[in-house]
Amino acid sequence: MTNLEDSLAELRPARAPEALWRRIQTGKLADRRWPSLRRDALSIAAALLLVVALYFILLPSPEPVPAALGPQGSPEELLRELKAVRHKIVIESNRDGNWDLWVMNADGSNPVNLTKTPDIDELYPKVSPDGTKICFCADEGKGEEKVRNLYLMDADGGKRTKVADNSREPCWSADGTKIAFLHGEFDKFSYSDFATRGIFIYDLASGQIRQHPNKKIEHLYTLNWTPDGKWFVATVHGGMGFKHGILALEAEGDGVFDLNLGGCRPDLSPDGRQVAWGHGDYAIGVADLDFSSNPPRATNVHNVVESKDPMETYHVDWSPDGKYVAFSYGPKHQGKNLRGLLPEFPGVEAPGWNTAVADVSKKNTFVQVTNDGKSCKEPDWMFVK
């Protein structure tokens, strides 16, 4: 192919709307459209009516009208609410030239460095469902020797043990007895989170690791495990015949299904009935999941957070009670010095990025819980009894 053909082929056709599929499911043919002239005349009439209607709507009203756009709740109220939440949040942050894992209260207060290892970069924390352990990645070694390994430690930072070499993107089984993770695609270190090949499952009791039966799995990241243990949900980037998307993968089979959610980095709600994800770079989407349908599908897609350029939203994570989502919030990277490396990749500097928490029940109601902008990202909620 020529450069032009390659360049064109990279463009992905816009998604056909779900509403159209629903129209098809009714079994009715499309209504015959009116001739253009008539349609145009009607459009003009409708626009005039709309202007008139807007005139009356915008007249001062004796009753206050709630804003249709903008936050439905106040950040200050949310912050006060978060002070009473007992669960904590763990993040990766580079506060002193080295990446460490920090735990803090839900409102961001009382941050504590759990790792304090000047020669090792700890990243991508995933707290066990009971809140007692943390699985995480550690970038160890320098230059050509650098490697990203997987570790486990107690929630207070003690008793560190290695889970697997050259591995990343872990997630827990709902009963906390197993950790699923992705193996690095190459021996050579890569920051690209999708440089993975194969899902592996670590049994905490036996220390044994087994590979997922589907050996063709590649280029996944942000792995999740459904509470019933039957499905994995992850992002794919250029693998298994998919360009980019969020997939549902059978935990014990070869089935791989596109959930048709535009975006990346999903996180399952504690009951497994919903998914939150980065719906583009500037929104956090939430959808209902239906694994009983064939194929599994996501419905009722809506955004709970909508940001504006240049402030991006990434790394969403549900709170243990399903009321909140934590996420990374920071400016789009400008300049070329991070060419190929993006601030949303674990372990890549993200100047100005902070951790924020949103109330899932109220659109666009969120508050930053860190404020130093020291690459505070990849939040994961920690259950506290």
Partner 1 sequence: MEQTLLMDSVLIEQLWRRHADRLLLYATTVLSDRGAAEDVLQNVFVRLMASPSEGLDSEAGYLFRAVRNEALNVIRSRRLATRAVSPLFDEVALDPRTSAELAERGRQVEKVLLRISAEEREAVVLKIWGDFSIPEAAVIAGISEKTFEHRYYRGLAALREKLGDLDHDEP
Binding site for partner 1 (CB under 8 A): 2-5, 7-17, 20-21, 23-25, 27-31, 33, 35-36, 194, 237, 244-245, 258, 260, 262-264, 280-281, 294-295, 312, 332-333, 342, 344
Q: Tell me the C-alpha distance between 241 and 247, whole Å.
A: 12
Q: Tell me the C-alpha distance between 379 and 265, whole Å.
A: 12
Pick the closer one to partner 1 by CB: 4 or 68.
4
Dihedral of CA atoms 180, 184, 189, 191 in degrees, nearest 10, equals -60
Pick the closer one to partner 1 by CB: 29 or 67.
29
* b/e burial code for range 30-40 (CB count within 10 A of at least 16 → b): eeeeeeeeeee
At its nearest, how many Å lie between partner 1 and the CB of residue 115? Answer: 27
From residue 229, alpha-carbon distances to 176, 271, 280, 315 in Å are 11, 12, 28, 22
Q: Are 345 and 352 in contact (CB under 8 A)?
A: no
Which residues are CB-contacts of 168 (< 8 A; sequence separation ≥ 6)? 124, 137, 148, 150, 181, 182, 184, 193, 196, 221, 346
SS (H, E, C) 293-313: CCCCEEEEEEEEEECCCCEEE
Pick the closer one to partner 1 by CB: 2 or 110.
2
Pick the closer one to partner 1 by CB: 258 or 349.
258
Residue 43 phi/psi, 5-degree rounding, is: -60, -40
Pick the closer one to partner 1 by CB: 188 or 243.
243
At its nearest, how many Å lie between partner 1 and the CB of residue 236? Answer: 10
At its nearest, how many Å lie between partner 1 and the CB of residue 204? Answer: 32
Pick the closer one to partner 1 by CB: 15 or 385.
15
Pick the closer one to partner 1 by CB: 256 or 360.
256
Q: Are 180 and 232 in contact (CB under 8 A)?
A: yes
Pick the closer one to partner 1 by CB: 36 or 208.
36
At its nearest, how many Å lie between partner 1 and the CB of residue 158? Answer: 36
At its nearest, how many Å lie between partner 1 and the CB of residue 72? Answer: 27
At its nearest, how many Å lie between partner 1 and the CB of residue 201? Answer: 26
From residue 132, alpha-carbon distances to 90, 270, 324 in Å are 12, 17, 21
What angle is formed at CA 218 by the lines to CA 14 and CA 120, rounded to 5 degrees? Answer: 110
Pick the closer one to partner 1 by CB: 262 or 322.
262
At its nearest, how many Å lie between partner 1 and the CB of residue 51? Answer: 20
Cis amide prior to 310 (ω within 30 degrees) = yes
At its nearest, how many Å lie between partner 1 and the CB of residue 82? Answer: 28
At its nearest, how many Å lie between partner 1 and the CB of residue 138? Answer: 23
From residue 26, alpha-carbon distances to 18, 31, 161 in Å are 13, 13, 56
What does the chain come to in residues?
Answer: 385
Taking the CA atoms of the chain, what radius of gyration do you get in angstroms?
23
At its nearest, how many Å lie between partner 1 and the CB of residue 247? Answer: 13
Alpha helices in 16-74 (DSSP H): 18-25, 36-58
From residue 378, alpha-carbon distances to 89, 99, 189, 318 in Å are 10, 12, 20, 12
Pick the closer one to partner 1 by CB: 14 or 68.
14
